[in-house]
A = this chain, B = another copy of it.
């Protein structure tokens, strides 16, 4: 019989916490025994995550009640884990922190992008960036993994084969994203009459996820803009790439197949006809896929690489579960089988 593991989710009332729990209630080897929320302590988790009504009878507990377990998922607001990581370390052999706190390895980079000193900068080096496509082997040995930035994930997986091959001179990454990226707390910017149908240039410059992209892919000329569109879940990354050397389509194909041919959650999507010629996050809600495709501009040689993910799954909770599976020695794909819906 397969090993069983006990997990706790700290900061479980938000969207990534809820998505973690959604994935884990069907995970055959990981049991969530505790989930915390200060504001909702004592209430059933379905008060925050109504999709789970009838699927779990867990109630939220407070963080101080968390008991030792095999794996701890931290899904708190950015900045909280940085301050409390030492305490959590005592609770579990394996920790996956889904916040932005431990994604960067460099305290300088953290300061530069997050605007302040890291509360526990010495711990930065101890974490592994939790994207299995980049760090599968390290994750098998890791006890501390960071989660991934959703926009960073879409961008990294779009560009990785080119970047790792030294083929990118310049990449202009134009991301289109849904409203769930902003989290579960209401604000003026998420007010439905304003947000519905918006095409809002909320981060034309300066988005923090660039730091992760450059850390993980190495330096090249990266331009990065994020536009919020009418969508709840999903990211589309349109990466306009100037290559260091011109490549034909078939060579690009070969390169991407080489990198992703055996990846369980990356699909190459590039069709000559039909409605689904390129990746589209519409098809990926709830799934752990990252779809990647591309087109070559015959006129200019520019390569347009397109990737799509569900920001809450492959861009957050799904990659976290995939990383935890690796850390715990479980088959990497376990619990991540939902294929997505069509139409939706």
Contact = CB atoms under 8 A, between A and B. Distances in A.
A335 to B, nearest CB: 12
B275 A174 contact: no
A225 interface: yes
Interface stretch (A91-99, A130-138, A298-306): A298-306
A49 B192 contact: no
A160 B158 CA distance: 32
Contacts of A286: 286, 338, 341, 344
Given A199-B234, A302-B223, A339 B52 contact: yes
Interface in A15-44: 15, 18, 22, 25-26
Given A223-B297, A238-B174, A302-B205, A343 B15 contact: yes
A269 B53 contact: yes
Nearest to A210: B299
A240 B341 contact: no
Interface centre among A53, A192, A240, A278, by most chain B C-beta atoms within 10 angstroms, is: A192
Contacts of A15: 193, 343
A329 interface: no
Interface in A149-203: 172, 174, 176, 178-180, 182, 184-201
A285 interface: yes
A198 B51 contact: no
A308 interface: yes
A68 interface: no
Nearest to A291: B53
A232 interface: yes
Interface in A263-309: 267, 269, 274-283, 285-287, 289, 293, 295-300, 302, 304, 306, 308
A301 B322 CA distance: 38
Nearest to A47: B274
A191 B186 contact: yes
A67 interface: no
A199 B55 contact: no
Given A179-B196, A339-B22, A238 B230 contact: no
Contacts of A184: 191, 193, 343
Interface of A: 15, 18, 22, 25-26, 47, 49-55, 172, 174, 176, 178-180, 182, 184-201, 204-206, 221-223, 225, 227, 229-234, 236, 238, 240, 267, 269, 274-283, 285-287, 289, 293, 295-300, 302, 304, 306, 308, 337-344
22 contacts: A53-B267, A172-B174, A172-B240, A174-B240, A176-B199, A180-B193, A186-B186, A186-B191, A187-B191, A188-B275, A190-B193, A192-B192, A194-B275, A197-B230, A199-B234, A199-B308, A201-B277, A201-B304, A205-B297, A206-B298, A229-B231, A338-B338
